[in-house]
Amino acid sequence: STQEKTPQICVVGSGPAGFYTAQHLLKHHTQARVDIYEKQLVPFGLVRFGVAPDHPEVKNVINTFTQTAHSDRCAFWGNVEVGRDVTVPELQEAYHAVVLSYGAEDHQALDIPGEELPGVFSARAFVGWYNGLPENQELAPDLSCDTAVILGQGNVALDVARILLTPPEHLERTDITKAALGVLRQSQVKTVWIVGRRGPLQVAFTIKIPRPRKRLTELLLQTATEKPRVEEAAHLASASRAWGLRFFRSPLQVLPSPDGRRVAGIRLAVTRLEAVGEAIRAVPTGDMEDLPCGLVLSSIGYKSRPIDPSVPFDLKLGVIPNMEGRVVDVPGLYCSGWVKTGPTGVIGTTMNDSFLTGQMLLQDLKAGLLPSGPRPGSAAIQALLSSRGVQPVSFSDWEKLDAKEVARGQASGKPREKLVDPQEMLQLLGH
Ligand code: FAD
């Protein structure tokens, strides 16, 4: 029967990894059905909640994801948190194969005294705040200080620095939330330091050209050593905001204000590089430096969390242990994206990685390594969810919210004004 030839597959997470894995499976298997489960009410993961508002071109991948979602063999089930609303073993019962693509939802802690002081945030939460992630809408960062320090020198640190320093009128026509724009308009922040443990040759920024490491180093050196041309120098002198990279510094302690109520600075250990075998490590020299600041954003990395006790998880590396996307020791279970590789790499990297996982799954299917006989797929899961009072939202529900956001943005010339309140979204959908 057709049902027997129909592999039922589900993907957990609707970021780039989830969508690219689904795309690969649908393209290379003419019968496979793919259900995508997502805990948020809206799809696209970090493309919506991570990518900076002033980089709209990056979000064009949404068009491809939307095409995938429109396939009649694909369904999106939002508002379903796997591990809470439905377990991974339940998904494994209902499907021939399960792909975990749930990204990296936590941040790496600094593990230094003072980290809990008001005025210290993770870059992850700050990014979520300006991008409309519901759980970060209460963040309300106080930008009445003149200096902010960002700990970590990766792409996210650069995004955050840029958002802090860009004149708010340049963000007015992006999809940054209205609330964030309001706070940024009041910002007193004039200087942003981007602090890293290591040197200019080890920074984790990426650029979109060939031989990026060499070019990046050249760019850094050129900017740091070249004398600005006359008009550039004049421009720099009149700039009301500035930023700088501070190398060979590692955070020791967040310094409190005299009343102990908030952050007033950060104590940094001066480091130098030391070769340890093949690797190069930053080790403290014993010298210290105090940098006064009113805001500390820690940007030392995202981190995946385990979502279900039945799924192996490497707590040290923060990934699901796998061989090219096959979860170790669990036939029929796969992973792709940041939860597979760790939280590094741009959307293009995530795409290639997800195609590879899709390929492995289809190979196993062909080799008869997945359970034979029909599986109920989403019907069984919908019954479970409904018995638990969980009401999923569909891709066409998202398209209603999308239209609403676009309409709300129109008045102010923005591509959209994001809905940030799940209650309001559910109400708009008549749930
Ligand atoms: P995510 O995009 O995080 O997707 C995971 C999805 O799983 C999310 O939708 C999440 O809600 C969902 N989920 C989590 N837990 C559950 C659960 N229990 N049940 C159901 N669903 C769940 N790349 C670029 O190419 N260009 C850029 O400009 C760029 N900017 C970036 C800016 C920031 C701040 C960050 C953090 C990353 C940026 N990246 C950029 C990298 C890019 O976002 C990642 O490569 C990509 O999003 C990783 O995809 P993913 O699907 O693995 O994870």
What is the pLDDT, as a whole number, of residue 348?
97
User: How close is the Cα of 301 to the center of ligand 1, in Å?
Assistant: 13
Rounded Cα distance between 368 and 35, Å, is 21
What ipTM is given for this predicted complex?
Answer: 0.99
Binding pocket residue ranges, ligand 1, CB within 6 Å: 12-18, 37-40, 45-46, 50-51, 55, 58, 81-83, 101-103, 105, 127, 156, 159, 302, 307, 337-338, 345-347, 350
Predicted pLDDT of residue 222: 75
pLDDT for res 2: 56
Residue positions in the annotated binding site for NADP(+)? 153-156, 197-198, 345
Residues of the chain with pLDDT under 50: none
What is the position in ligand 1's atom list of the atom closest to the CA of 81? 19
Q: How far apart are CA 125 and CA 139, in angstroms?
A: 8
Asked whether 100 and 38 are in contact (CB, 8 A), the reply is no
337 Cα–ligand 1 center, Å: 8
Sequence-distant (≥ 6) Cβ neighbours of residue 127 within 8 angstroms: 49, 50, 52, 133, 156, 159, 160
C-alpha 397, offset from chain centre: 23
Residues ≥6 apart with Cβ < 8 Å to 131? 48, 49, 50, 51, 53, 176, 177, 418
What confidence tens digit (pLDDT) does each residue in 293-312 have? Answer: 999 999 999 999 999 999 99
Q: Give the atom of ligand 1 at the shortest distance from the alpha carbon of 46.
A: 2
Q: 3-state DSSP call for residue 152?
A: coil
Q: Which atom of ligand 1 is nearest to the CA of 156?
A: 34
Q: Estimate the share of the chain in helix, then strand, then coil, as percent rounded to the nearest 5.
A: 35, 20, 40
* Ligand 1 geometric centre to CA of 354 (Å): 13
pLDDT in tens, 313-331: 999 999 999 999 999 999 9
pLDDT of 56: 96
User: What's the gap in Å between 351 CA and the centre of ligand 1?
Assistant: 12
What percentage of the chain reaches a pLDDT higher than 90?
84
